[in-house]
Structure 1
């Protein structure tokens, strides 16, 4: 199996075909269906759905009781079935079928010349413009569970899950049109029975507002069922005696619309989407209420039968992912949504901080200001919290504490920032107290022969933290933490000091890439007030991220831990979705290949795996209180992440070693 084949990473390419049709012309409709099938197979599609009653057309009315039409539909089905003989693709087509002297509106599930099963429609609309009960029987009225069709013994019934043995996460269920418009659709129980891809063959005439309603209906059903939902509609060629048709096709995944067809076309169309089956499976494992629902509806679940099949997809050829993967999963790409996200994050952080201040009876904050990104954001949150409480911003004590390697740029930015915010500002030179500490502990550092080791760095970090806590004692304040989610994930924080320990931390569930956008949003929208120095925020954003602890040149954080853009990407898919490194790298390469070679993505991911899974958990197990801001997760042991402090990274590193450096098999 190739690394650069989407099926190697539990994606499945799903398609909806909306062919041209002719009313009561099964031969023409079969030819149109076969043409789209061949096109889809060449594109690597695994599952393809067509419209309801597509071989006959939906709008035949009482023609459905004519033997010639019904015979012609079975001949058309045989033609489509023969065309699937060499196609590694499940085709789901609609037609009327006679079973035990009754007529059913059915979906036939076809693969490689075999009819896997036939699914009858359960709920027949008989209101408004619909008269289906005049021609058809509900699938619930069937008295058999097997039929003979085109010489094959075929499972018959609505409670079937079609299970691919060579793609364990691909489980299909089929329902028809009105079934999903009911209070409890059959697909809801099918999802509890394990179906991950729910397929709806629909005709669905169009009226004003119906397209939007369909979109909402399909999206919500996919979200409730933690599934992909595939929806078809009839298009051009259906009778317009009393109705019109728009050919809307939709594919949704867990509430997200992946693709929608153009409507009202006078030509056939094919839409595809790459569905992440692992994501769906992971969400079902994660959400305990899904399992509870299985237990509560055990009788309905046990009524389903599994129909196994072998898809036989080609895994030995490149098949690139055709799906938008955001480079910054924590940050919306759309500008308006990004602004909305920024405001929401600030409101969550401010609400958490104001509640902590109000409940503790403390009205003052102490914040260490480095002139860098994280402390800037924490100070901005503190200012908005004071505004919300009706307290003066001078109740915030901002303290900048230059050390042995503090640059003039960051020092000046810290002072400008505190002036722009309007808090009380102090500057404390920590070098004398650090030198005393180094002497007291017998550190070999001397002016003539300096030793810049971890102890030298952490003495400075520790002195800053000690000053902040003692200032909080002196002023009756609360020390506000500044460390962010990305630093916690990578263990890039010193245990017990300012980027790890505080009385309350507003940044602990906010990743570095999102903090950058939050600060930019404040600057661009003048949240500090018109006429204030917003330029200082932009200057801070353009400053290299550095701890500034070792003299003699720029100490770059990203040179050690890797680019935060990649590390936040790795964090999101590891923490939120639980993906193994090979899949994370596959997604990262898809999103970032114009910027980073696969070898660099793999190198940075190795840093993440080693730092996240081994050696850093003990820091995360005792983090201060902090509000969770997003569904992307947090690392608090009281929230999203509980892990042993002494685990190994061996299985993740082994999976990482499966990744080629250049994207070859």
Structure 2
């Protein structure tokens, strides 16, 4: 009878669609840990998670089969076995699965039973649900392998317990959300209490387009105590030791990493998502407009922390409405961050457009059209630099602006990615204050402040007309953002928000602006998901929509 097991928890990043690289990375882990009995990898580690419609490509499924069997062949040496996440094709469809590779063969296959189909997840569109899984038999131990969503409901873990499972290993692809680590721990403790079995929860790390994964893997013993807590945001490999006693299996106490509190977790989410997006898409760096305002200052700081100052190129594009304060604040931001700052005045282009459009605009007063031309000139300028030198244009708009359409389509919305897309303006203020007082543990940027205090305290402005302030067009952000959270995250009605004490006319106006800006958001660049309901993957509204609650 096996009395002791060593199980390696491999909290890894993934390279979407590069199956050979993912397989090689897993084999390298195996080479580093010959003393392990079994290595657990995250959900769909061979493919990348979430794969979306990539798994509908037959060539990918064929390559996954070949790479899985190449990995299985490596286990013929008698070394560690591996539990590998992959996709398999059977006669009735595709399955999200974990394969046990041992002694030169695919020794067992577990298919995911519960398929998430809400929020960012649409697995029912891609996969068939597997049957309630049975435990795998490994070295005389019956191990249950519930896959991600399988642990969010009691059924699968209870089925595994009834079928004789002695411990549970749960591979996951669980995206970051605020307080998600506490939610996962509470969930796992419920499954442990219901089954009386210890459970190892393994998550992936790294960014994948609009999602970012924080890792934060852990082990909970049958008494509900946390035996191991792996770090958040970085790849890690932790060897855990399990002993069989009179009451069943127990994981020995091991490393206990502290996890990020708020808002450090939000900052790391933006930083890791941008780093992986830029590096995996092979951009040499990023270029962005640095206006002297808080959104571009925070975006630049995140970029420097993610990529290093040498890969961040800032451009100041002043107009006749740009005040000296903005010029000096942008210059000081660049100095504090150590980045390149170029100045390209847009006045020649504005003058040319004024002359070009004068006949068509004759008899009409200057208005929003002329203001937006300035923003679009800046977008064209930055895209020209991106095209010429290869840097990705980093968009700097926040969620408050994107919610109500306070952004210029084909202007300041232009770009390849946004780290602030899911950050409300009040969150931007909080993150800026935090970064000025703290350096992220995984950041590449400098110690100390990264923007002048004036950038945080001065009234926000787009500077598209004389003496312009955001408050000319929008409610104060400490009013606007709670209304938006109610409308977006909570799906409340105007009446619901009025009952919370907000002015009815203000809420009705914000709701209208939210709905009519949907066409803009459909054309916005991708951006990292930071909350529970981001635009794009979570909240999917029709563009043409007459419904209002006012």
TM-score by length of structure 2 reads 0.51
Q: 2:517 aligns with which of 594, 612, 616?
A: 616
Question: Structure 2 CA distance, aligned partners of 1:344 and 1:445?
Answer: 49
Alignment match, 1:628: 529
Alignment match, 2:328: 412
Alignment match, 1:100: none
Alignment match, 1:656: none
Name which one, 1 or 2, has greater alpha-carbon Rg. Answer: 1
Are residues 517 and 360 of structure 1, via their aligned partners in 2, closer, same or farther at CA, if it must alter by over 3 Å?
same
What root-mean-square deviation, in Å, do the aligned CA atoms of Structure 1 and Structure 2 show?
Answer: 3.1
Question: Structure 2 CA distance, aligned partners of 1:224 and 1:454?
Answer: 56
Does structure 2 retain, via aligned residues, the 8 Å contact 1:482–1:505? yes
Are residues 473 and 220 of structure 1, via their aligned partners in 2, closer, same or farther at CA, if it must alter by over 3 Å?
closer
Does structure 1 retain, via aligned residues, the 8 Å contact 2:337–2:446? no
Question: Structure 2 CA distance, aligned partners of 1:461 and 1:224?
Answer: 52
CA shift for structure 1 position 643? 1.3
Does structure 2 retain, via aligned residues, the 8 Å contact 1:444–1:451? no
Are residues 373 and 444 of structure 1, via their aligned partners in 2, closer, same or farther at CA, if it must alter by over 3 Å?
farther
Equivalent position SS for 2:291: coil
Equivalent position SS for 1:604: helix
Does structure 2 retain, via aligned residues, the 8 Å contact 1:401–1:428? yes
Equivalent position SS for 2:313: strand
Question: Structure 2 CA distance, aligned partners of 1:443 and 1:562?
Answer: 36
Question: Structure 1 CA distance, aligned partners of 2:315 and 2:326?
Answer: 13
Q: 2:375 aligns with which of 461, 464, 477?
A: 461
Alignment match, 2:457: 542
Are residues 451 and 403 of structure 1, via their aligned partners in 2, closer, same or farther at CA, if it must alter by over 3 Å?
farther
Q: 1:508 aligns with which of 421, 424, 428?
A: 421
Q: Does structure 1 residue 556 correspond to structure 2 residue 454?
A: no
Equivalent runs, 1:334-345 vs 2, <5 Å? 340-345=261-266
Equivalent runs, 1:12-161 vs 2, <5 Å? none
Q: Does structure 1 residue 518 correspond to structure 2 residue 409?
A: no
Are residues 466 and 649 of structure 1, via their aligned partners in 2, closer, same or farther at CA, if it must alter by over 3 Å?
same
Does structure 2 retain, via aligned residues, the 8 Å contact 1:561–1:607? no
Are residues 533 and 349 of structure 1, via their aligned partners in 2, closer, same or farther at CA, if it must alter by over 3 Å?
closer
Equivalent runs, 1:265-664 vs 2, <5 Å? 340-387=261-308, 393-442=309-358, 451-498=365-412, 500-525=413-438, 529-530=446-447, 534=450, 536-551=451-466, 554-587=467-500, 589=501, 601-613=503-515, 615-631=516-532, 633-636=533-536, 639-650=537-548, 652-653=549-550
**Which stretches of structure 1, 4 residues or more, deviate above 3 A after TM superposition?**
219-225, 443-446, 449-452, 526-530
Question: Structure 1 CA distance, aligned partners of 2:498 and 2:188?
Answer: 27
Question: Structure 2 CA distance, aligned partners of 1:541 and 1:444?
Answer: 41
What do residues 429-480 of structure 1 show as CA deviations (whole Å, max 9, x unaligned)? 101111101111226889xx99531121011101100110001122221100
Question: Structure 2 CA distance, aligned partners of 1:407 and 1:353?
Answer: 31
Does structure 1 retain, via aligned residues, the 8 Å contact 2:269–2:530? yes
Alignment match, 1:134: none
Are residues 414 and 617 of structure 1, via their aligned partners in 2, closer, same or farther at CA, if it must alter by over 3 Å?
same
Does structure 2 retain, via aligned residues, the 8 Å contact 1:520–1:537? no
CA shift for structure 1 position 395? 2.1
Are residues 439 and 513 of structure 1, via their aligned partners in 2, closer, same or farther at CA, if it must alter by over 3 Å?
same
Does structure 1 retain, via aligned residues, the 8 Å contact 2:283–2:392? yes
Question: Structure 2 CA distance, aligned partners of 1:223 and 1:603?
Answer: 46
Question: Structure 2 CA distance, aligned partners of 1:634 and 1:364?
Answer: 25
Mind listing any 5+ residue stretches in structure 2 that lack a counterpart? Answer: 1-152, 156-181, 192-257
Are residues 586 and 339 of structure 1, via their aligned partners in 2, closer, same or farther at CA, if it must alter by over 3 Å?
farther
Equivalent position SS for 1:441: helix
CA shift for structure 1 position 603? 3.1
Question: Structure 1 CA distance, aligned partners of 2:154 and 2:260?
Answer: 36
CA shift for structure 1 position 222? 13
Question: Structure 2 CA distance, aligned partners of 1:382 and 1:622?
Answer: 23
Question: Structure 1 CA distance, aligned partners of 2:364 and 2:541?
Answer: 39
Are residues 625 and 443 of structure 1, via their aligned partners in 2, closer, same or farther at CA, if it must alter by over 3 Å?
farther
Equivalent position SS for 1:366: strand
Are residues 472 and 223 of structure 1, via their aligned partners in 2, closer, same or farther at CA, if it must alter by over 3 Å?
same
Equivalent position SS for 2:452: helix
Equivalent position SS for 2:287: strand
Are residues 409 and 443 of structure 1, via their aligned partners in 2, closer, same or farther at CA, if it must alter by over 3 Å?
farther
Are residues 480 and 630 of structure 1, via their aligned partners in 2, closer, same or farther at CA, if it must alter by over 3 Å?
same
Are residues 450 and 349 of structure 1, via their aligned partners in 2, closer, same or farther at CA, if it must alter by over 3 Å?
same
Question: Structure 2 CA distance, aligned partners of 1:583 and 1:223?
Answer: 35
CA shift for structure 1 position 623? 1.7
Equivalent position SS for 1:384: helix
Are residues 361 and 524 of structure 1, via their aligned partners in 2, closer, same or farther at CA, if it must alter by over 3 Å?
same
What do residues 234-273 of structure 1 show as CA deviations (whole Å, max 9, x unaligned)? xxxxxxxxxxxxxxxxxxxxxxxxxxxxxxxxxxxxxxxx
CA shift for structure 1 position 511? 0.9
Are residues 645 and 458 of structure 1, via their aligned partners in 2, closer, same or farther at CA, if it must alter by over 3 Å?
same
Question: Structure 1 CA distance, aligned partners of 2:364 and 2:329?
Answer: 28
What do residues 46-96 of structure 1 show as CA deviations (whole Å, max 9, x unaligned)? xxxxxxxxxxxxxxxxxxxxxxxxxxxxxxxxxxxxxxxxxxxxxxxxxxx
Are residues 474 and 580 of structure 1, via their aligned partners in 2, closer, same or farther at CA, if it must alter by over 3 Å?
same
Equivalent position SS for 1:516: helix
Question: Structure 2 CA distance, aligned partners of 1:629 and 1:188?
Answer: 28
Does structure 2 retain, via aligned residues, the 8 Å contact 1:562–1:607? no
Alignment match, 1:10: none
Question: Structure 2 CA distance, aligned partners of 1:602 and 1:513?
Answer: 22
Equivalent position SS for 1:340: coil
TM-score by length of structure 1 reads 0.42
